[in-house]
Chain A
Amino acid sequence: MSIDLKKLESLGCLSLSQEQRDEILAAVQANIETLKSVADIQAAPLEFPTTGNTQFRTGDFSSPDKQGLNIGDDSYFLAPKTVKKD
Protein backbone atom coordinates (compact mmCIF):
# COMPACT_ATOMS: atom_id res chain seq x y z
CA MET A 1 0.00 0.00 0.00
CA SER A 2 1.83 3.10 -1.17
CA ILE A 3 1.08 6.53 0.21
CA ASP A 4 0.82 9.39 -2.24
CA LEU A 5 1.14 12.35 0.11
CA LYS A 6 0.54 14.88 -2.66
CA LYS A 7 -2.78 13.18 -3.40
CA LEU A 8 -3.71 13.21 0.28
CA GLU A 9 -3.02 16.90 0.44
CA SER A 10 -5.41 17.38 -2.44
CA LEU A 11 -8.06 15.01 -0.97
CA GLY A 12 -7.92 16.91 2.31
CA CYS A 13 -8.34 20.15 0.37
CA LEU A 14 -5.07 21.45 1.78
CA SER A 15 -2.17 23.32 0.30
CA LEU A 16 0.82 23.05 2.58
CA SER A 17 3.45 25.73 2.59
CA GLN A 18 7.05 24.59 2.25
CA GLU A 19 7.72 25.04 5.96
CA GLN A 20 4.59 23.05 6.92
CA ARG A 21 5.35 20.36 4.40
CA ASP A 22 8.40 18.78 6.08
CA GLU A 23 6.83 18.59 9.51
CA ILE A 24 3.34 17.53 8.54
CA LEU A 25 4.07 15.05 5.78
CA ALA A 26 6.67 13.14 7.80
CA ALA A 27 4.24 12.81 10.71
CA VAL A 28 1.38 11.79 8.43
CA GLN A 29 3.54 9.15 6.77
CA ALA A 30 4.61 7.70 10.14
CA ASN A 31 1.09 7.73 11.53
CA ILE A 32 -0.43 6.10 8.47
CA GLU A 33 2.17 3.32 8.66
CA THR A 34 1.01 2.71 12.23
CA LEU A 35 -2.71 2.93 11.48
CA LYS A 36 -2.39 0.58 8.50
CA SER A 37 -1.53 -2.19 10.95
CA VAL A 38 -5.22 -2.28 11.91
CA ALA A 39 -5.89 -4.10 8.63
CA ASP A 40 -3.65 -6.98 9.73
CA ILE A 41 -5.32 -7.65 13.07
CA GLN A 42 -6.92 -11.09 13.00
CA ALA A 43 -9.02 -10.74 16.13
CA ALA A 44 -12.25 -9.72 14.47
CA PRO A 45 -14.32 -10.64 11.44
CA LEU A 46 -13.71 -8.58 8.34
CA GLU A 47 -17.33 -7.70 7.69
CA PHE A 48 -18.27 -4.10 7.98
CA PRO A 49 -21.14 -3.96 10.47
CA THR A 50 -23.82 -2.56 8.22
CA THR A 51 -26.54 -5.03 9.15
CA GLY A 52 -28.54 -5.22 12.34
CA ASN A 53 -30.63 -2.56 13.93
CA THR A 54 -30.94 0.31 11.52
CA GLN A 55 -33.84 1.92 13.31
CA PHE A 56 -33.79 5.25 15.03
CA ARG A 57 -34.66 6.30 18.54
CA THR A 58 -37.07 9.12 17.80
CA GLY A 59 -39.18 10.40 14.98
CA ASP A 60 -41.02 8.52 12.30
CA PHE A 61 -38.20 6.32 11.16
CA SER A 62 -40.10 3.04 11.11
CA SER A 63 -38.81 2.41 7.64
CA PRO A 64 -35.20 3.56 7.49
CA ASP A 65 -34.82 2.50 3.89
CA LYS A 66 -37.71 4.72 2.89
CA GLN A 67 -36.05 7.60 4.64
CA GLY A 68 -32.88 6.88 2.74
CA LEU A 69 -31.01 6.72 6.02
CA ASN A 70 -29.12 3.81 7.48
CA ILE A 71 -26.57 5.39 9.74
CA GLY A 72 -28.40 4.55 12.96
CA ASP A 73 -26.80 1.13 13.20
CA ASP A 74 -26.12 0.38 16.85
CA SER A 75 -22.68 -0.95 16.19
CA TYR A 76 -21.77 2.21 14.35
CA PHE A 77 -23.13 4.98 16.54
CA LEU A 78 -23.59 2.94 19.71
CA ALA A 79 -26.89 4.60 20.51
CA PRO A 80 -29.78 2.15 20.26
CA LYS A 81 -33.32 3.00 19.35
CA THR A 82 -34.57 2.51 22.88
CA VAL A 83 -32.79 2.36 26.17
CA LYS A 84 -34.07 0.34 29.04
CA LYS A 85 -34.22 2.80 31.90
CA ASP A 86 -33.17 1.26 35.15
Chain B
Amino acid sequence: MKSLKEKHLEAIETKNFLSSKVDEIAKKVKNDSTGSCWDIEQSLNYSYEEAKRLDTISTDDRAKQPFWGLSVGMKDLFTIKGLKTTAGSRILENFISPYDSTVWTDLKSRGALMGAKLAMDEFAMGSYSNTSSFGRVSIPGYPEHTAGGSSGGSGAALAADIVDFTVGSDTGGSVRLPAAFCSTVGYKPSYGAFSRFGMIAYASSLDQAGFLTHKLEDVQYLLDSGISHADKNDFTSVGIVAQGEVKKHLTVAYFPSILTSSGVTEDVKQAYAKLIEEYRQNKDVTVIEVNIPLMEKAAEIYYVIACSEASSNLARFQGVYFGPQLVEQNFEGNYWEQCAQYRSKFFGAEVQKRIMMGAFISSSENFQLIFGKAQALRAEIKKQLNEVLEKADVIVIPTSPSTSPKWDDIAKMTSVQIYMSDFMTVPFSLAGLPAISMPLYKDKNGLGIGIQFVGKQYKDYQLITDTLTLTK
Protein backbone atom coordinates (compact mmCIF):
# COMPACT_ATOMS: atom_id res chain seq x y z
CA MET B 1 0.00 0.00 0.00
CA LYS B 2 1.45 3.35 -1.08
CA SER B 3 1.62 6.27 1.33
CA LEU B 4 -0.36 9.47 0.76
CA LYS B 5 2.85 11.28 -0.12
CA GLU B 6 3.77 8.67 -2.73
CA LYS B 7 0.29 8.81 -4.24
CA HIS B 8 0.45 12.61 -4.37
CA LEU B 9 3.85 12.61 -6.08
CA GLU B 10 2.77 9.96 -8.57
CA ALA B 11 -0.38 11.85 -9.50
CA ILE B 12 1.17 15.23 -10.25
CA GLU B 13 2.40 14.57 -13.78
CA THR B 14 -0.66 12.77 -15.17
CA LYS B 15 -3.10 14.67 -17.39
CA ASN B 16 -6.77 14.59 -16.34
CA PHE B 17 -5.77 12.42 -13.43
CA LEU B 18 -8.55 13.41 -11.05
CA SER B 19 -11.41 13.07 -13.55
CA SER B 20 -10.46 9.45 -14.13
CA LYS B 21 -9.96 9.01 -10.39
CA VAL B 22 -13.61 9.99 -9.83
CA ASP B 23 -14.59 7.35 -12.42
CA GLU B 24 -12.77 4.78 -10.27
CA ILE B 25 -14.45 6.03 -7.09
CA ALA B 26 -17.86 5.81 -8.82
CA LYS B 27 -17.18 2.18 -9.75
CA LYS B 28 -16.08 1.27 -6.24
CA VAL B 29 -19.02 3.03 -4.62
CA LYS B 30 -21.38 1.16 -6.94
CA ASN B 31 -19.88 -2.17 -5.90
CA ASP B 32 -19.68 -1.29 -2.20
CA SER B 33 -22.01 -3.33 -0.02
CA THR B 34 -20.97 -1.99 3.39
CA GLY B 35 -23.29 1.03 3.33
CA SER B 36 -20.34 3.39 3.87
CA CYS B 37 -21.25 6.05 1.31
CA TRP B 38 -24.29 8.32 1.24
CA ASP B 39 -25.88 10.77 -1.10
CA ILE B 40 -23.86 9.11 -3.85
CA GLU B 41 -25.18 10.82 -6.98
CA GLN B 42 -24.91 14.34 -5.58
CA SER B 43 -21.46 13.66 -4.09
CA LEU B 44 -20.14 12.28 -7.37
CA ASN B 45 -21.46 15.26 -9.32
CA TYR B 46 -19.64 17.50 -6.88
CA SER B 47 -16.47 15.37 -7.21
CA TYR B 48 -16.54 15.55 -11.03
CA GLU B 49 -16.88 19.34 -10.93
CA GLU B 50 -14.03 19.61 -8.42
CA ALA B 51 -11.87 17.18 -10.43
CA LYS B 52 -12.30 19.32 -13.56
CA ARG B 53 -11.15 22.39 -11.64
CA LEU B 54 -8.22 20.61 -9.97
CA ASP B 55 -7.07 19.05 -13.28
CA THR B 56 -6.55 22.52 -14.76
CA ILE B 57 -3.96 23.42 -12.11
CA SER B 58 -0.42 23.57 -13.47
CA THR B 59 2.14 20.92 -12.52
CA ASP B 60 4.11 23.45 -10.47
CA ASP B 61 1.06 24.48 -8.49
CA ARG B 62 0.00 20.85 -8.00
CA ALA B 63 3.31 20.19 -6.29
CA LYS B 64 2.62 23.04 -3.86
CA GLN B 65 -0.68 21.45 -2.78
CA PRO B 66 0.17 18.43 -0.58
CA PHE B 67 -3.20 16.73 -1.11
CA TRP B 68 -3.39 17.20 -4.88
CA GLY B 69 -4.17 13.81 -6.40
CA LEU B 70 -5.66 12.48 -3.17
CA SER B 71 -9.32 11.74 -2.54
CA VAL B 72 -10.88 12.14 0.88
CA GLY B 73 -14.13 10.80 2.33
CA MET B 74 -15.93 13.17 4.69
CA LYS B 75 -18.13 12.02 7.55
CA ASP B 76 -21.57 13.48 6.94
CA LEU B 77 -21.40 15.98 9.77
CA PHE B 78 -18.80 18.24 8.17
CA THR B 79 -20.58 20.92 6.20
CA ILE B 80 -19.64 21.28 2.55
CA LYS B 81 -21.17 24.25 0.75
CA GLY B 82 -23.89 23.20 -1.65
CA LEU B 83 -23.98 19.58 -0.47
CA LYS B 84 -26.45 17.86 1.77
CA THR B 85 -25.22 17.41 5.36
CA THR B 86 -27.50 15.19 7.42
CA ALA B 87 -25.48 14.00 10.43
CA GLY B 88 -27.35 10.73 9.89
CA SER B 89 -30.66 12.25 10.93
CA ARG B 90 -34.02 12.60 9.24
CA ILE B 91 -34.32 15.98 10.90
CA LEU B 92 -31.57 17.21 8.53
CA GLU B 93 -32.56 15.00 5.61
CA ASN B 94 -32.77 17.89 3.15
CA PHE B 95 -30.35 20.32 4.73
CA ILE B 96 -28.03 21.85 2.11
CA SER B 97 -25.14 23.59 3.79
CA PRO B 98 -24.58 27.26 2.87
CA TYR B 99 -20.93 27.18 4.02
CA ASP B 100 -17.82 24.99 4.29
CA SER B 101 -16.53 23.60 7.58
CA THR B 102 -12.99 24.69 8.47
CA VAL B 103 -11.63 21.13 8.23
CA TRP B 104 -12.99 20.78 4.69
CA THR B 105 -11.79 24.29 3.72
CA ASP B 106 -8.27 23.37 4.82
CA LEU B 107 -8.24 20.06 2.93
CA LYS B 108 -9.75 21.62 -0.19
CA SER B 109 -7.31 24.53 -0.23
CA ARG B 110 -4.46 22.02 -0.21
CA GLY B 111 -5.78 20.20 -3.25
CA ALA B 112 -7.86 17.37 -1.76
CA LEU B 113 -10.68 15.96 -3.86
CA MET B 114 -13.93 15.23 -1.99
CA GLY B 115 -14.56 11.61 -2.97
CA ALA B 116 -17.53 10.59 -0.83
CA LYS B 117 -19.91 11.63 1.92
CA LEU B 118 -19.71 8.98 4.58
CA ALA B 119 -22.25 7.23 6.75
CA MET B 120 -22.43 7.77 10.51
CA ASP B 121 -24.54 7.20 13.59
CA GLU B 122 -27.25 9.81 14.08
CA PHE B 123 -25.58 12.98 15.42
CA ALA B 124 -22.51 10.80 16.14
CA MET B 125 -24.38 9.05 18.95
CA GLY B 126 -23.42 5.43 18.73
CA SER B 127 -20.59 2.92 18.96
CA TYR B 128 -21.75 0.43 16.34
CA SER B 129 -23.05 2.36 13.30
CA ASN B 130 -26.57 1.19 14.01
CA THR B 131 -28.37 4.37 15.08
CA SER B 132 -28.46 6.20 11.74
CA SER B 133 -31.77 7.00 10.08
CA PHE B 134 -30.31 5.88 6.75
CA GLY B 135 -28.85 2.43 7.37
CA ARG B 136 -26.03 0.68 9.15
CA VAL B 137 -22.42 0.10 8.09
CA SER B 138 -20.53 -3.18 8.09
CA ILE B 139 -16.87 -4.10 7.62
CA PRO B 140 -15.84 -4.83 4.01
CA GLY B 141 -15.94 -8.61 3.62
CA TYR B 142 -17.77 -9.08 6.94
CA PRO B 143 -21.42 -8.18 6.31
CA GLU B 144 -22.51 -9.62 9.67
CA HIS B 145 -20.15 -7.39 11.65
CA THR B 146 -20.44 -3.69 12.48
CA ALA B 147 -17.83 -1.28 11.16
CA GLY B 148 -17.96 0.47 14.54
CA GLY B 149 -19.23 3.93 15.27
CA SER B 150 -19.97 6.58 15.07
CA SER B 151 -17.65 7.18 12.08
CA GLY B 152 -18.46 3.75 10.61
CA GLY B 153 -18.56 5.03 7.03
CA SER B 154 -15.09 6.54 7.50
CA GLY B 155 -13.69 3.18 8.61
CA ALA B 156 -15.44 1.04 6.00
CA ALA B 157 -14.82 3.37 3.02
CA LEU B 158 -11.11 3.46 3.80
CA ALA B 159 -10.90 -0.28 4.39
CA ALA B 160 -12.67 -0.80 1.03
CA ASP B 161 -10.12 1.58 -0.54
CA ILE B 162 -12.83 3.79 -2.00
CA VAL B 163 -10.88 6.93 -1.08
CA ASP B 164 -7.28 7.60 -0.03
CA PHE B 165 -8.08 8.80 3.50
CA THR B 166 -11.15 9.69 5.50
CA VAL B 167 -12.24 12.27 8.04
CA GLY B 168 -14.37 11.36 11.03
CA SER B 169 -15.18 12.90 14.37
CA ASP B 170 -14.36 11.50 17.78
CA THR B 171 -16.35 12.45 20.87
CA GLY B 172 -15.78 9.34 22.98
CA GLY B 173 -14.06 6.96 20.57
CA SER B 174 -15.90 7.47 17.28
CA VAL B 175 -12.76 7.51 15.14
CA ARG B 176 -10.78 4.95 17.13
CA LEU B 177 -13.48 2.27 17.28
CA PRO B 178 -14.15 2.11 13.51
CA ALA B 179 -10.40 2.21 12.94
CA ALA B 180 -9.91 -0.77 15.27
CA PHE B 181 -12.81 -2.76 13.77
CA CYS B 182 -11.88 -1.97 10.15
CA SER B 183 -8.12 -2.47 10.69
CA THR B 184 -7.03 1.05 9.81
CA VAL B 185 -5.10 3.75 11.64
CA GLY B 186 -7.41 6.11 13.57
CA TYR B 187 -6.12 9.41 14.90
CA LYS B 188 -8.08 11.33 17.55
CA PRO B 189 -6.25 14.64 17.95
CA SER B 190 -5.90 16.65 21.14
CA TYR B 191 -9.05 18.58 21.91
CA GLY B 192 -8.50 21.92 20.20
CA ALA B 193 -6.08 20.69 17.54
CA PHE B 194 -8.70 21.15 14.81
CA SER B 195 -11.48 23.65 14.46
CA ARG B 196 -15.02 22.43 15.12
CA PHE B 197 -16.49 25.16 12.93
CA GLY B 198 -18.94 23.56 10.54
CA MET B 199 -18.89 20.25 12.37
CA ILE B 200 -22.40 19.47 13.58
CA ALA B 201 -22.21 19.39 17.36
CA TYR B 202 -22.92 16.47 19.66
CA ALA B 203 -20.99 17.35 22.85
CA SER B 204 -18.99 20.51 22.36
CA SER B 205 -16.39 20.02 25.09
CA LEU B 206 -15.52 16.58 23.69
CA ASP B 207 -16.11 16.69 19.92
CA GLN B 208 -12.98 16.64 17.80
CA ALA B 209 -12.33 16.01 14.12
CA GLY B 210 -10.16 12.95 13.47
CA PHE B 211 -8.54 11.10 10.57
CA LEU B 212 -8.38 7.52 9.35
CA THR B 213 -5.51 6.38 7.15
CA HIS B 214 -3.81 3.19 6.04
CA LYS B 215 -0.44 4.14 7.51
CA LEU B 216 0.68 6.15 10.49
CA GLU B 217 3.10 8.08 8.26
CA ASP B 218 0.01 9.37 6.47
CA VAL B 219 -1.19 11.05 9.67
CA GLN B 220 2.22 12.66 9.93
CA TYR B 221 1.85 13.82 6.33
CA LEU B 222 -1.54 15.37 7.13
CA LEU B 223 -0.11 17.30 10.07
CA ASP B 224 2.95 18.37 8.04
CA SER B 225 0.56 20.15 5.67
CA GLY B 226 -0.39 22.65 8.39
CA ILE B 227 -4.06 21.77 8.65
CA SER B 228 -3.98 22.01 12.44
CA HIS B 229 -4.25 25.66 13.43
CA ALA B 230 -6.20 28.08 15.55
CA ASP B 231 -9.42 29.22 13.90
CA LYS B 232 -11.13 32.53 14.63
CA ASN B 233 -14.47 30.77 14.18
CA ASP B 234 -13.83 28.31 17.04
CA PHE B 235 -12.41 29.77 20.23
CA THR B 236 -11.47 26.32 21.55
CA SER B 237 -9.17 25.62 18.60
CA VAL B 238 -5.48 26.21 19.27
CA GLY B 239 -3.65 24.15 16.67
CA ILE B 240 -0.54 22.08 17.22
CA VAL B 241 2.98 22.32 15.88
CA ALA B 242 4.16 19.53 13.57
CA GLN B 243 7.39 18.80 15.38
CA GLY B 244 8.65 15.75 17.24
CA GLU B 245 11.96 14.16 18.08
CA VAL B 246 12.85 10.51 17.55
CA LYS B 247 13.77 9.20 20.99
CA LYS B 248 16.23 6.37 21.52
CA HIS B 249 14.47 5.19 24.62
CA LEU B 250 10.76 5.21 25.40
CA THR B 251 8.77 4.57 28.56
CA VAL B 252 5.41 2.90 28.05
CA ALA B 253 2.61 2.81 30.64
CA TYR B 254 0.16 -0.08 30.61
CA PHE B 255 -2.84 -1.18 32.64
CA PRO B 256 -2.39 -4.72 34.06
CA SER B 257 -6.01 -4.62 35.27
CA ILE B 258 -7.13 -4.99 31.63
CA LEU B 259 -5.59 -8.46 31.54
CA THR B 260 -7.88 -9.67 34.33
CA SER B 261 -10.97 -7.66 33.47
CA SER B 262 -14.12 -9.72 32.90
CA GLY B 263 -15.33 -7.13 30.39
CA VAL B 264 -12.46 -7.77 27.96
CA THR B 265 -12.39 -10.74 25.57
CA GLU B 266 -9.54 -13.27 25.55
CA ASP B 267 -8.43 -12.30 22.03
CA VAL B 268 -7.92 -8.70 23.10
CA LYS B 269 -6.21 -9.67 26.36
CA GLN B 270 -3.79 -11.97 24.51
CA ALA B 271 -2.94 -9.29 21.96
CA TYR B 272 -2.33 -6.73 24.71
CA ALA B 273 -0.20 -9.14 26.76
CA LYS B 274 1.82 -10.05 23.69
CA LEU B 275 2.56 -6.44 22.87
CA ILE B 276 3.58 -5.58 26.43
CA GLU B 277 5.82 -8.65 26.53
CA GLU B 278 7.50 -7.50 23.30
CA TYR B 279 8.16 -4.12 24.89
CA ARG B 280 9.56 -5.81 27.99
CA GLN B 281 12.01 -7.70 25.79
CA ASN B 282 13.04 -4.51 24.01
CA LYS B 283 16.02 -2.86 25.69
CA ASP B 284 15.00 0.51 24.28
CA VAL B 285 11.62 0.42 26.01
CA THR B 286 10.80 0.61 29.73
CA VAL B 287 7.39 -0.67 30.75
CA ILE B 288 5.65 0.70 33.83
CA GLU B 289 2.40 -0.52 35.34
CA VAL B 290 -0.33 1.96 36.15
CA ASN B 291 -3.69 1.72 37.78
CA ILE B 292 -6.32 4.47 37.77
CA PRO B 293 -9.42 3.10 39.55
CA LEU B 294 -11.43 6.13 38.47
CA MET B 295 -11.14 4.99 34.86
CA GLU B 296 -13.62 2.24 35.66
CA LYS B 297 -16.22 4.99 36.05
CA ALA B 298 -15.07 6.95 32.99
CA ALA B 299 -17.98 5.79 30.82
CA GLU B 300 -20.56 6.98 33.36
CA ILE B 301 -18.77 10.33 33.74
CA TYR B 302 -18.52 10.67 29.98
CA TYR B 303 -22.22 9.99 29.37
CA VAL B 304 -23.30 12.45 32.07
CA ILE B 305 -21.34 15.21 30.34
CA ALA B 306 -22.01 14.16 26.74
CA CYS B 307 -25.77 13.74 27.19
CA SER B 308 -26.07 17.08 29.01
CA GLU B 309 -24.27 18.89 26.23
CA ALA B 310 -26.21 16.98 23.57
CA SER B 311 -29.51 17.90 25.15
CA SER B 312 -28.51 21.55 24.90
CA ASN B 313 -26.92 21.37 21.42
CA LEU B 314 -29.89 19.60 19.87
CA ALA B 315 -32.39 22.12 21.20
CA ARG B 316 -31.86 24.06 17.95
CA PHE B 317 -33.61 21.35 15.94
CA GLN B 318 -37.21 22.32 16.44
CA GLY B 319 -38.55 22.74 12.90
CA VAL B 320 -37.91 26.45 12.50
CA TYR B 321 -34.25 26.87 11.52
CA PHE B 322 -33.32 23.43 10.18
CA GLY B 323 -34.91 20.43 8.54
CA PRO B 324 -38.42 19.88 7.23
CA GLN B 325 -40.39 22.95 8.21
CA LEU B 326 -42.75 22.68 11.15
CA VAL B 327 -45.37 24.77 9.38
CA GLU B 328 -45.54 22.28 6.52
CA GLN B 329 -46.35 19.38 8.84
CA ASN B 330 -49.81 18.63 10.14
CA PHE B 331 -49.23 18.67 13.88
CA GLU B 332 -51.82 19.48 16.47
CA GLY B 333 -51.58 21.63 19.58
CA ASN B 334 -49.73 24.80 20.52
CA TYR B 335 -46.22 25.70 19.31
CA TRP B 336 -44.38 23.72 22.01
CA GLU B 337 -46.58 20.68 21.54
CA GLN B 338 -45.93 20.85 17.82
CA CYS B 339 -42.17 21.09 18.41
CA ALA B 340 -42.32 18.05 20.68
CA GLN B 341 -44.26 16.02 18.09
CA TYR B 342 -41.86 17.17 15.39
CA ARG B 343 -38.74 16.21 17.35
CA SER B 344 -40.10 12.80 18.25
CA LYS B 345 -41.05 12.19 14.63
CA PHE B 346 -37.68 13.13 13.13
CA PHE B 347 -35.15 12.23 15.84
CA GLY B 348 -34.22 8.56 16.15
CA ALA B 349 -34.65 6.57 19.35
CA GLU B 350 -31.02 6.84 20.49
CA VAL B 351 -31.00 10.62 20.13
CA GLN B 352 -34.24 10.92 22.06
CA LYS B 353 -32.82 8.75 24.85
CA ARG B 354 -29.77 10.94 25.21
CA ILE B 355 -31.80 14.15 25.12
CA MET B 356 -33.96 12.85 27.98
CA MET B 357 -30.93 11.75 30.00
CA GLY B 358 -29.35 15.14 29.41
CA ALA B 359 -32.56 16.86 30.47
CA PHE B 360 -32.59 14.82 33.69
CA ILE B 361 -28.97 15.65 34.52
CA SER B 362 -29.36 19.32 33.62
CA SER B 363 -32.45 19.83 35.75
CA SER B 364 -31.89 22.10 38.77
CA GLU B 365 -32.09 19.34 41.37
CA ASN B 366 -29.47 17.17 39.64
CA PHE B 367 -27.19 19.66 37.97
CA GLN B 368 -24.75 20.23 40.84
CA LEU B 369 -25.13 16.74 42.26
CA ILE B 370 -24.50 14.80 39.04
CA PHE B 371 -23.20 17.14 36.35
CA GLY B 372 -21.03 19.13 38.76
CA LYS B 373 -19.64 15.93 40.20
CA ALA B 374 -18.94 14.53 36.75
CA GLN B 375 -17.04 17.69 35.83
CA ALA B 376 -14.96 17.42 38.99
CA LEU B 377 -14.27 13.76 38.25
CA ARG B 378 -13.36 14.65 34.69
CA ALA B 379 -10.77 17.09 35.99
CA GLU B 380 -9.49 14.38 38.34
CA ILE B 381 -9.15 11.82 35.52
CA LYS B 382 -7.28 14.39 33.46
CA LYS B 383 -4.97 15.12 36.38
CA GLN B 384 -4.23 11.45 37.00
CA LEU B 385 -3.59 10.70 33.32
CA ASN B 386 -1.30 13.70 33.07
CA GLU B 387 0.61 12.41 36.10
CA VAL B 388 1.09 9.09 34.31
CA LEU B 389 2.31 10.96 31.22
CA GLU B 390 4.89 12.75 33.34
CA LYS B 391 6.47 9.34 34.00
CA ALA B 392 5.76 7.70 30.65
CA ASP B 393 6.08 8.86 27.06
CA VAL B 394 3.07 6.89 25.89
CA ILE B 395 0.09 5.09 27.44
CA VAL B 396 -0.73 1.85 25.64
CA ILE B 397 -4.19 0.27 25.99
CA PRO B 398 -6.54 -1.68 23.67
CA THR B 399 -9.05 0.39 21.73
CA SER B 400 -12.06 -1.83 22.34
CA PRO B 401 -12.76 -4.61 24.84
CA SER B 402 -13.70 -6.90 21.93
CA THR B 403 -13.39 -7.25 18.18
CA SER B 404 -16.33 -6.14 16.07
CA PRO B 405 -19.53 -7.80 17.32
CA LYS B 406 -22.17 -9.26 15.03
CA TRP B 407 -25.36 -7.33 14.33
CA ASP B 408 -27.39 -10.05 16.03
CA ASP B 409 -25.32 -9.74 19.20
CA ILE B 410 -25.61 -5.95 19.22
CA ALA B 411 -29.39 -6.27 19.01
CA LYS B 412 -29.33 -8.29 22.23
CA MET B 413 -27.25 -5.71 24.14
CA THR B 414 -28.93 -3.17 26.42
CA SER B 415 -28.01 0.46 25.91
CA VAL B 416 -26.27 0.45 29.32
CA GLN B 417 -24.04 -2.40 28.10
CA ILE B 418 -23.30 -0.54 24.88
CA TYR B 419 -22.43 2.68 26.73
CA MET B 420 -20.19 0.94 29.25
CA SER B 421 -18.24 -0.84 26.49
CA ASP B 422 -16.67 2.55 25.63
CA PHE B 423 -14.58 2.52 28.80
CA MET B 424 -11.25 2.18 27.00
CA THR B 425 -11.65 5.21 24.75
CA VAL B 426 -13.62 7.76 26.79
CA PRO B 427 -11.00 8.50 29.51
CA PHE B 428 -8.72 10.10 26.93
CA SER B 429 -11.59 12.06 25.41
CA LEU B 430 -12.48 13.42 28.84
CA ALA B 431 -8.85 14.48 29.30
CA GLY B 432 -8.55 15.99 25.81
CA LEU B 433 -5.50 13.84 25.06
CA PRO B 434 -4.39 12.73 21.58
CA ALA B 435 -4.82 9.01 20.88
CA ILE B 436 -4.03 6.80 17.92
CA SER B 437 -5.62 3.40 17.31
CA MET B 438 -3.17 1.14 15.50
CA PRO B 439 -4.29 -2.02 13.64
CA LEU B 440 -1.69 -4.29 15.20
CA TYR B 441 -3.49 -7.62 15.59
CA LYS B 442 -6.28 -9.80 14.20
CA ASP B 443 -8.39 -12.43 15.91
CA LYS B 444 -8.81 -15.97 14.55
CA ASN B 445 -11.61 -14.79 12.25
CA GLY B 446 -9.48 -12.05 10.75
CA LEU B 447 -11.24 -9.24 12.63
CA GLY B 448 -9.09 -6.30 13.70
CA ILE B 449 -7.79 -5.67 17.21
CA GLY B 450 -6.73 -2.06 17.66
CA ILE B 451 -4.26 -0.82 20.24
CA GLN B 452 -4.37 2.81 21.38
CA PHE B 453 -1.30 4.92 21.90
CA VAL B 454 -1.98 8.01 24.01
CA GLY B 455 0.30 11.01 24.51
CA LYS B 456 0.40 14.41 26.16
CA GLN B 457 -2.11 17.08 25.19
CA TYR B 458 -1.01 19.13 22.16
CA LYS B 459 2.02 16.84 21.69
CA ASP B 460 0.28 14.97 18.90
CA TYR B 461 3.25 14.98 16.59
CA GLN B 462 5.51 13.62 19.32
CA LEU B 463 2.91 10.89 19.95
CA ILE B 464 2.98 9.96 16.25
CA THR B 465 6.78 9.90 16.27
CA ASP B 466 6.83 7.70 19.40
CA THR B 467 4.13 5.40 18.04
CA LEU B 468 6.10 4.96 14.81
CA THR B 469 9.08 3.88 16.91
CA LEU B 470 6.97 1.51 19.00
CA THR B 471 5.23 -0.15 16.07
CA LYS B 472 7.94 -0.46 13.42
Q: Interface on A for B, CB 8 Å cutoff? A: 1, 3, 5, 8-17, 20, 23-24, 27-28, 30-32, 34-39, 41, 43-49, 56-59, 72, 75-80, 83, 85-86
Contacts and interface: CB of A to CB of B under 8 A. Distances in A.
Contacts of B318: 13
Interface SS majority for chain B: helix
Contacts of A44: 294, 373, 376-377, 379-380
A86 B459 contact: yes
B190 to A, nearest CB: 9
11 contacts: A8-B356, A11-B356, A13-B339, A15-B340, A16-B344, A44-B379, A48-B368, A57-B236, A58-B230, A79-B237, A80-B238
B280 interface: no
B300 A1 contact: no
Contacts of A28: 353, 356-357, 360
Nearest to A75: B379
A59 B374 CA distance: 30
B344 A85 contact: no
Contacts of B215: none
B349 A77 contact: no
Given A49-B379, A79-B238, A32 B243 contact: no
Contact of B419 (A31, A39, A59): A31
Contacts of A43: 293-294, 377, 380
Contacts, number: 167
B235 A56 contact: yes
Contact of A38 (B239, B241, B304, B339): B304
Contacts of B457: 78
A1 B265 CA distance: 35
Interface in B362-400: 363, 365-366, 368-370, 372-380, 382
Nearest to A85: B241
B253 interface: no
Given A44-B377, A77-B236, A83-B458, A13 B343 contact: yes
B349 A3 contact: no
Contacts of A79: 191-192, 235-238, 432
A58 B232 contact: yes
Interface SS majority for chain A: loop
B297 interface: yes
A56 B232 CA distance: 12
Interface of B: 191-192, 205, 230, 232, 235-241, 243, 293-294, 297, 300-301, 303-304, 307, 311, 315, 318, 336-337, 339-341, 343-344, 347, 349, 352-353, 355-361, 363, 365-366, 368-370, 372-380, 382, 414-416, 419-420, 431-432, 457-459, 462
Contacts of B432: 78-79
Given A30-B414, A44-B373, A78-B192, A15 B337 contact: yes
Contact of B349 (A8, A24, A31, A34): A24
Contacts of B293: 43
Closest 4 A/B residue pairs (Cβ): A15-B340, A78-B432, A11-B359, A48-B372
Contacts of B307: 35
B416 A34 contact: yes
B235 A57 contact: yes
Contact of A35 (B241, B303, B344, B378): B303
A75 B372 CA distance: 12
